[in-house]
Structure 1
Amino acid sequence: MTEKTMQAISIEQPGGPEVLKLVEAPMPYAYEGEVLIKVHAAGVNRPDILQRMGAYPPPKDASPLPGLEVAGIVEKVGRGVTNLKEGDQVIALCNGGGYAEYVAVPAGQVLPLPNGWTMTEGAALPETLFTVQQTMIDRAGLESGQTVLIHGGAGGIGAAAIQLAKLKDCFVLATASSEEKLDYVRSVGADIAINYLTEDFVEKTKTATKDKGANVILDIIGSDYVDRNIRAAAIEGTIVQLANLGGREATITMGLVVAKRLTIFGSTLRAQPNEVKENIANNMKSQIWPALESGKFIKPKISTYELQDASAAHRDMDAGDHFGKIVLRTSANTDVRND
């Protein structure tokens, strides 16, 4: 029997955007506990860039193809899956393989496409929402009325974090690098937007909180931001390190960590067990989906590329001046809104 194939984006070798190639790849199979999704749209994320560069290899049991989030239609249902059926419109957090016409995903990482959202819009949700739910909500225990400082507020994770914090009635400060990006972070709910190129976020945070500091800080920079975050944090505050775009090494003032009784933790999502991701998905469905479907969650700014133009999408992200989300569309995408 001839093996079924599909179009997909492969990483030819570690390197720049030009190493992303459109290829004919074997179509995945929905094994026990999985569903096969016909992909309509796939989100582009920073971990995809790192994987392309050879700095973020996929787990041994994951697809070697890039792509961590998709929206599409359930094509096949594997044995033991009872909560999904063929034809369902869904979004999903993938362990890999999202830059393709089809992807197999553990059923626990699949959620319904929110009512009122198109496939392209839905594909911008999973990686960001899973990340923020797991770190800021589930682990940091964000509570109503707290102050949150979010770095990279104009990015996909930053904009989602702003909105989830506002859903909990928190006071939000967010950093960005241009007036256009500052306007964007305000539009999604930030109470104070800080230009980190011209303003000191530590002083701005202290001024806004009458020297109390931020209860929760989300950081993607690392390097010298780590110690500055410690200075901007409130007593018994929590600092969440999601990435280290500014550098992996940091010198910190441990005396302040002790004196303020701070919690500092890092997080990665992809390598965690499927059971952990399923638990995050269940929390998201109960806590976030009502806001997505009622219009309380503002849809992200999205730049779109066709699947075969994945290298151009990566060049856009590499340039560093984009904001919002970047999404790849497959030939199946007609972008009908889910009503």
Structure 2
Amino acid sequence: MHALAMAVSANLPVILWGAPGTGKTSSVLALGEHLGLPVEVVVGSVREPSDFAGLPVVRDGGTWFAPPRWAERLAAAGQGILFLDELTTAPPAVQAAMLRVVLERVVGDLALPDGVRIVAAANPPALAADGWDLSAPLANRLVHLDWSISAASVADGFMGGFAVPDLAGVGAPTAAEVGAARALVGAFLRVRPSLVLAVPEDSGRAWPSPRTWELAATALACTSSRPGEWLERVRAELVVGAVGEAAGFELLSWVRDLDLPDPETLLSDPAAPLPERVDRLHAVLGSVVAHVRADGGGESWQRAWSLVARVARRTPDVAAGAARSLASRRPDGAPLPPAMLELAPILRAAGLMP
């Protein structure tokens, strides 16, 4: 339940896998009530493709794909949870129509507000009435969470009520946190390029792709500085749910062993020690660039060039990516620092300096 709450708060599209009758729907309704979000339950098994692609009607001399009422209610509210229930009982044609809803938040010709979260639930095909496997394109758009219950939690719920996790301190990640997490994922994929895309034979669950690595980065970002003893478990659930067990646990292990210095410390101390390992250098520079972008100030942008120049003296290939990113995001009015002269060959090669 903590992982579901974190995913909803971070606006990650998520799917809950569990046996029938285990409280998936009631938990989502309770979470929506706790967060003050309206919940629209859409059961896939009783829907047609037009319920997601829109029903064509003639309006003002043209064709308009009219959205269903549930989509109009969410759009009017400006936020909420779209709960797609019984996903594996939806036939392939309906699953295909759901793709644009999950990825682009568009229903017919209506764009859902950014505040609308996507949550789905499914029974394993063996337990679903007339069930289908989840299509690979739809599976690759969701974070997959296993929904399990314990006898103790059910007993406690009947006696004292079913509790919603304490969400104090939980919310959408900041731009700096997202940028730093993306830098970590990018540095990891430099070390393990074979994991950028690894489609399994059975692709109805999570697997690595550029899209799901983006989900994994958001999962890392939203668990990077949040309180709670459950944090490590939730981080693992979300990352593994995005890219699968093998790739997810490898990323988590790699991140745990990095022990990166704080970006502000590196920018403030010109003599701060730098990592020896190339993958750690990539991660360090990526986190510094993300910090500078979130800061937006000319002073931090200039200080970052001194750090990049230090790295370039030893490993110019590592410094190249950070130099390109910094050069393309120069704050208005920021003077060019002397350290940029050391990187002139790199910037010319990238087409960023005449």
Tell me if TM exceeds 0.5.
Answer: no
Larger radius of gyration: 2
Higher strand share: 1
> RCO higher in 1 or 2 (8 Å CA, sep ≥ 6)?
1
TM-score, normalized by length of structure 1? 0.31
